[in-house]
Every structure is written in structure tokens, then in C-alpha cells.
Structure 1
Amino acid sequence: MRIRQGESIAVGPGKIALLEAIQVHGSISAAARSLGMSYRRAWLLIEELNKALNSPATSSEQGGQRGGGSLLTPVGAEIIRLYRAIERDAYQACADDIGTLTSLLKGA
């Protein structure tokens, strides 16, 4: 599922996976590495997401002894929760059709 804002994707599976990775790893760079993504790409995705929101999904600390990091804000945690709930509900509502579609795939 993707939610668009104008021409860009405000929320989609890639941004949700990145938010979840930030939640686990505590930094954009570690999250990006865990997803096999460049830091620049991850940073641009977070920047795009935060610009689309009324309040940011992440907060970052600069430098310091531990090199800074990023945390989810309550908004970021709520975005993940809502997205995963919608995804779960949609899958349940469409389970029969998904099964039929899957049966059309090779190796099914």
C-alpha cells in the first residue's frame, strides 16, 4: 500500500521498513545498512516523509561521544502501527482473492 501526497509517495512499504529499522537500530545509517540501502537514500526517504507530515516521524541527535543517532517520535511509531494495521486488515479482507491470484503464479 502506498499513500501519495501530490506526485510523491508520502508513506509506503519502503518508508515503513526504514522506520522500523530506525526503531531497532537507533540510527539512519545502521538502519540503511540493515536494509542494504545507501545512507543517502535512507536520509532522502526520511526527509521526504518528514516534509509530508505535520510533525516529524524521527528526531536526530548530532555527533557526541556515540556519534548521534535517530529515534522515532510518537508520530513515527503511530505511522508504523497504523500502516501495519491497515495492511493486516486489507490482507484479511482480500485473503480469498489473494489465494486465487497466488494460484495463478508459477510454482504455486
Structure 2
Amino acid sequence: MRKIKGRFWIEENGQTLLGEGRVRLLEALLECGSISASAKKLGISYRKAWRLIDELNKAAGEGVVLKSSGGKGGGGTVVTEKGTKLIKEYRELQVRFYNFLDGELANIEENLKS
């Protein structure tokens, strides 16, 4: 079975703003509620997760993820409405992207038959 593979991400001035890894991190944050648990789930370091969140918040111009420090009551992480919307829009774009690739593969296969 033939398959076209591809990846996409959104950049600004050569810097990644949003891609699969950052979206997966946002989804893990929604599920786990903490940076530490999310990083562990994704197999990345806490430091890397923190850096990705910080970069995403700065790029968005407003909070996509809100963090509270640990302590007696414990810390936590909340994905904002904007963050949830980014996840949804990215996943919808991903579906359209893969549908496009499937259509292009169908065109290529048709040309191979002729």
C-alpha cells in the first residue's frame, strides 16, 4: 500500500510556533493538569515541557497555558480557552492536510496506471 507522508507546523521568523509536539503537550496538560505529569506521559523532560509552554505563551501574545507554583496547596496548570481552540484548529487543519495528501496520492496512482 502506497502512502504519502508529511508533517506541518506553523513558524514565525524561523521559529516554530505550533506543531504536533506542542499540541500533544497541550492535550497532555488538559488530561494531566500538571507540567510534570504531562512531561512524563510524553517522555520529555520537565525543563523541555516548561520551555515549550513558555515559548507558546510568548508567541501567542497571551496565555495559552496558565501555571501556578507548587507549595502547600500544590501547583497546577490550566490550558486556557485560547489553548483549547488552538488544539481544535490544529487538529482540524491536520485532517485537511492528510486528506490533501491522500488526494494527491490518488492522482499519482492514476497517472501511474495510464
Note whether the superposition's TM-score is higher than 0.5.
yes
Corresponding residue number in structure 2 for 1:90: 97
AA paired with 1:44? Answer: R
Unmatched 5+ residue regions in structure 2? Answer: 1-7, 109-114
Unmatched 5+ residue regions in structure 1? Answer: 102-108
In the alignment, structure 1 residue 47 sits paired with structure 2 residue 73? no
- For residues 1-108 of structure 1, the aligned pairs below 5 Å read 1-97=8-104
Corresponding residue number in structure 2 for 1:105: none
Shift in CA distance, 92/37, structure 1 to aligned 2, threshold 3 Å: same
- TM-score normalised by length of structure 1: 0.85
CA distance in 2, matches of 1:99, 1:67: 53
CA displacement at 1:98 relative to structure 2: 5.0
- Structure number with the bigger relative contact order (C-alpha 8 A, sep ≥ 6) is 2
CA distance in 2, matches of 1:46, 1:100: 40
SS of 2:11's equivalent? Answer: strand
Larger Rg: 2
* Root mean square deviation, CA, Å: 1.8
Query: What is the identity percentage for the equivalent residue pairs of Structure 1 and Structure 2?
Result: 38
